[in-house]
Amino acid sequence: MSKGSNQSDKYRIDTQENRDFLKSLTEDLLRFGHGIVSPGGSAYYLLLDGSPWKDHIRETYISCRMAHVYSIGHFLGHEGSEALIDAMLAGLNGELQDHVNGGWHPAVTSEGEPLPGKQCYAHAFVILAASSALLAKRPGAKELLENALEVFDRYFWNEEEGMTADTWNTEFTVLDDYRGLNANMHTVEAFLAASDATGDQKYRARAGRIIRRVIGWAQANEWRIPEHFTKDWVSDLECNQDKPDDQFKPYGATPGHGIEWARLIAQWAVSVFPEEGEVSLLQKTGKSGDLCGTEAYGADKCGAGASG
C-alpha cells in the first residue's frame, strides 16, 4: 500500500490502490482456473482447492466460458492463457461437438459420453467462445465461429420473430414449445461478440431486435423481466412454480438476469450510438437494473433463479 493511503482506498473506484487490488484478484482467479483441461479438451468443474472434479459432467457452456475468460486473460497478459484457449477450442471441435447431427451436445459425462438434446443456451456460448478466441488470434477460431453461426442461423434464430428457439432433440428434428429469455440474453451477448469479431453488423442489429422486445415485456411487467414463454411468445409467469430452483428455467423473475440485461442493453446502445440515438434505452436499463439490484436481497420478491 502506498504511503499516505489507507485500507479503504483499495475499495474506492479509480484509485491506484483499487486498480492494484483488482489486478491481484484477477490474477488469482485466472491462476485458479488452470486445472480445467480434461483429456478431451472440455472443461472440468474445479473443487475448492482448484483440482479437477473428474467424476462430474463437463458442460459445453462452461468450456465456452473458459475460452472467453482466457481470451480476456490473453489481452491482460496472463501467462498460459493461449494454451487454455486452444484446449477449450479442441474440446469444442472434439468431444463436445456432434459430428453426426451437427451442433454441440449440452455436455458429456465423466466418461465422455454425450448427453441428449441441443440447447440454444450452449450454442450461444459457442459463438461467444469462438468470437473471443478469434479476437485473440487463436488458430481454428475463425472456422469454429463460422460453423457455430451457420448452425445457430439454421436451427435457433427466427428471423420473423426476431428471437430464438430454445431446445431441440439431439437430431434437430423435434423443437420444444418452450421459449425463454435466458437463452436470448446470452444470444445478445454472443451476437455482439460476433459482430465485434467479424465486423458483420447483421448480428448487432439482431441483438437490438431482441433487446427491444425484452424492454417491452419488462415495461408491461413493472420492470421485472418475465423469463418464460409459450411458442407464440405469450409470457408464462407460472412456469416452474412447483420447481422454483430449476437451473435454467427458475420460477419468477431472476434478479441477476435483470442486471445482466442492463449491462447488455447498455453495451448495445453505446455500440450503435449515435446512429440510433438510444439514450432512452439507457434510462430504461437503469429502471430494470436498479429494481432487481434492490430486490435481489429478497428471494420471494424478485425470484431466486440460479441460472446464468
Class of domain 15-176: mainly alpha
pLDDT at 112 over 90: yes
What is the rounded CA–CA span in Å between residue 166 and residue 147?
A: 19
What is the rounded CA–CA span in Å between residue 220 and residue 283?
A: 16
Residue 105 or 4, more confident:
105
Tell me what pLDDT residue 238 has.
Answer: 86
- Mean pLDDT for 84-108 is 99
| Residue 296's pLDDT band (cuts 50, 70, 90) | very low
CA distances from 111 to 20, 52, 259 (A): 42, 14, 37
Tell me what pLDDT residue 301 has.
Answer: 46
Q: Which of 24-28, 56-60, 192-196, 259-263 has the lowest mean pLDDT?
A: 259-263
- Mean pLDDT for 22-40 is 98
| Residue 69's pLDDT band (cuts 50, 70, 90) | very high
| Cell numbers describing residue 172 | 434437430
Q: Which residue has the cell 428471437?
A: 163
Q: Which of 10-14, 126-130, 197-201, 205-209 has the lowest mean pLDDT?
A: 10-14
Residue 17 or 252, more confident:
17
Q: What is the DSSP string of the chain?
A: --TT--GGGGGSTTSHHHHHHHHHHHHHHHHHGGG-B-TTSPBPEE-TTS-EETTS-EEHHHHHHHHHHHHHHHHHT-TTHHHHHHHHHHHHHTTTB-TTTSSB-SEE-TTSPBPS-EEHHHHHHHHHHHHHHHHTT-TTHHHHHHHHHHHHHHHTEETTTTEE--EE-TTS--B-S-EEHHHHHHHHHHHHHHHHHH--HHHHHHHHHHHHHHHHHHHTTTTPPP-EE-TT--B-TTTTTT-TT-SSS-SS--HHHHHHHHHHHHHHHHHHTTTS-THHHHHHHHHHHHHHHHHTT-HHHH------
- Mean pLDDT for 7-17 is 90
| Residue 303's pLDDT band (cuts 50, 70, 90) | very low
pLDDT at 307 over 80: no
Kindly report, residue by residue over 253-291, the tens digit of the pLDDT. 788 888 899 999 999 998 887 665 555 666 666 555 555
Tell me what pLDDT residue 288 has.
Answer: 55
Kindly report, residue by residue over 205-257, the tens digit of the pLDDT. 999 999 999 999 998 988 889 999 999 999 988 888 888 888 778 887 788 88
The domains of the chain are located at 15-176, 202-308
| Cell numbers describing residue 303 | 425470484
pTM of the model: 0.90
CB 231 within 8 A of CB 167: no
pLDDT at 100 over 70: yes
Tell me what pLDDT residue 241 has.
Answer: 86
pLDDT at 2 over 80: no
Kindly report, residue by residue over 121-171, the tens digit of the pLDDT. 999 999 999 999 999 999 999 999 999 999 999 999 999 999 999 999 999
Tell me what pLDDT residue 224 has.
Answer: 87
pLDDT at 104 over 50: yes
- Mean pLDDT for 13-41 is 97
What is the rounded CA–CA span in Å between residue 281 and residue 95?
A: 41
